[in-house]
Structure 1
Amino acid sequence: MIRVSSLKRITYSRIIHLSHVIDPDIPQWPGDPQVEFTSVAQLPDDGYYLRRVSLGEHSATHINAPNSFYQAGIGIDQYPAQSLVVPAVVIDIHAAAAVNADYRLTVDDVLAWEVQHGEIPLGHLVLLHTGWQNKWSDKNAFLNQDARGIMHFPGFGSDATQFLLDERQIAGVGIDTHGVDSGQDTSFATNRLVLAQQGIVLENLTNLHQLPAKGSTLAIAILRLRGGSGSPVGVLAFVP
């Protein structure tokens, strides 16, 4: 059992990594810097082993900050610690995404989930399990670009996102693709809607199939990069 505050506790039976392992071959958003590991010290010559690591703020499993879309938005270093420990629900659309790579979560999908599991409680993170995590080892399949360079992967529809923010007052969103917005949405509507409220946006998650529909709590370990537009994150799920 982990104590979050004097009023909140987390009880769990399992802890699951929701972050991918980082290496130079991970799928990267077009134009993002490559992941690079450079040896600085080696055993046994230097008496210890050390590498320099270089990667973009939105590489691997990561969180986006408001200043990535809003000039006056805060950086990732300004997120309060308590906002990074958050209960979560999981909506599973992997069957629909297998048929239509451009599928976007709808309000009807949310309401159908609630018929089974109850209304999404205030302050929860909504995670979207699309099955895309299974494509992670194949860059081409994960980004799924067509001949024009347009990416095709599922995401949150803007209407569903607005509904979740307004009617369910969620803490944010997360997904197992490279963007909470579908690959074709160049307006980044869901990012903008959530980050306008200083919410949480997690991308490139994994192992969402191991989580129950509700009841898990996430601990999101950011790198407190001063003025950061985001950060690679280690995300742990505490499963009841």
Structure 2
Amino acid sequence: MCNPQTVAASGPSRPERGPAVPAAPAETTKTAETAPHGGTRVRIPGGTVRDLTHVVGPDWPVFDLYVRPMEIKPLANIAEHEYNALELTYNEHIGTHVDAPRHFDDDGLSVERIPAESLIAPLAVVRVAERAARDHVTELTVDDLLRWESRNGRIPDRAVLAVDSGWAARIDTPGAFLNFDEKDGIYRFPGISVEAAAFLVEERSVVGVGVDSPSLDPGSRPADPYTHRVLLPAGKYGIECLAGLDTVPDAGAVVVVGAPRHTGGTGGPARVLAFL
């Protein structure tokens, strides 16, 4: 369920590991207009597309105090109705999904109001998987961000900053993704520190922040989602449960976030694609 798909596009093939992938040269890029009425133009690299989206179904692990598992019911079939259709019942915050600012701010943008030009962005990936393997509740720090910038330059304006903690690989092991500690009564998965969130809001100009773990906040403080409270009321969107971040470069890719457009939404499942 967790393996991201790789879709071939026009241009040369790329190595699997992100850091080894160079930014696409100018002649292999194409320009996409992100809004129909005078929107910003974004340069999308040619070459390879990586699908950063998990497949979601009834077996997707959920925080059962707040969220029920997804239900998929047959609605029509070829033999009886001459077409196939399914009925889906699911929470907005399940699988690979967007957290809209409204999720933590009554006055924030609901998901259908997030500007289209904010959903196509440079992708910056910070890697903490080695540390997360040792410390399951490790948090992205300001030092992690500054080290990334020492190698790659300043985090691009209007970027999506994503954290590769290696957590996506745990989705196929029952219990490993939420990683609930029965003894201590807490979840143990990585997230983003409040200090790093504040740095991205106050010192940089990202449009969104993503993680491959179940939440922007580490699992050790589910009742105190401070990172959400820093990022979302500041107008940033979040992406949780990303897949395949280890297949994209630290810098140079462009991400397209296929956010849903239902009225008043606090978020919703998304198809997230990276163009290398």
Per the normalisation by structure 1, the TM-score is 0.95
Structure 1 runs (4+) deviating above 3 angstroms are 5-8
CA distance change for structure 1 residues 8 and 134 in 2, over 3 Å: closer, same or farther?
closer
* Range moving further from structure 2, 90-99 or 183-192: 183-192
Q: What residue number does 1:200 align with?
A: 237
Q: Which of 167, 181, 189 is equivalent to 1:153?
A: 189
The one-character-per-residue Cα deviations of 1:101-150 (angstroms, maximum 9, x if unpaired) are 01011111111121211221221111000000000112411001111431
Q: What residue number does 2:52 align with?
A: 18
CA distance change for structure 1 residues 78 and 34 in 2, over 3 Å: closer, same or farther?
same
Return the offset for 1:24. Answer: 0.8
Q: What residue number does 2:260 align with?
A: 223
2:31–2:41 CA contact under 8 A, matched in 1:
no
Return the offset for 1:9. Answer: 2.3
User: Are residues 1:61 and 2:90 paired?
Assistant: no
What is the SS of the residue equivalent to 1:74? coil
Return the offset for 1:13. Answer: 1.1
Q: What residue number does 1:167 align with?
A: 203
Mark the runs of 5 or more structure 2 residues left unpaired by the alignment. 1-29, 34-38
Return the offset for 1:72. Answer: 2.6
User: Are residues 1:111 and 2:140 paired?
Assistant: no
CA distance change for structure 1 residues 102 and 36 in 2, over 3 Å: closer, same or farther?
same
1:29–1:178 CA contact under 8 A, matched in 2:
no
Q: What residue number does 1:73 align with?
A: 108
Distance across 1 between alignment mates of 2:265 and 2:32: 29
Task: State how many pairs are aligned.
Answer: 239
What is the SS of the residue equivalent to 1:72? coil
Return the offset for 1:181. Answer: 0.8
The one-character-per-residue Cα deviations of 1:141-165 (angstroms, maximum 9, x if unpaired) are 1001111431110111111111122
Per the normalisation by structure 2, the TM-score is 0.83
Q: What residue number does 2:217 align with?
A: 181
1:26–1:137 CA contact under 8 A, matched in 2:
no
Q: What residue number does 2:43 align with?
A: 9
Q: Which of 141, 166, 184 is equivalent to 2:176?
A: 141
Q: What residue number does 2:12 align with?
A: none
Return the offset for 1:7. Answer: 4.4
User: Are residues 1:43 and 2:78 paired?
Assistant: yes
**Identical pairs, percent:** 33
RMSD over aligned CA atoms reads: 1.4
Mark the runs of 5 or more structure 1 residues left unpaired by the alignment. none
Matched AA of 1:236? L
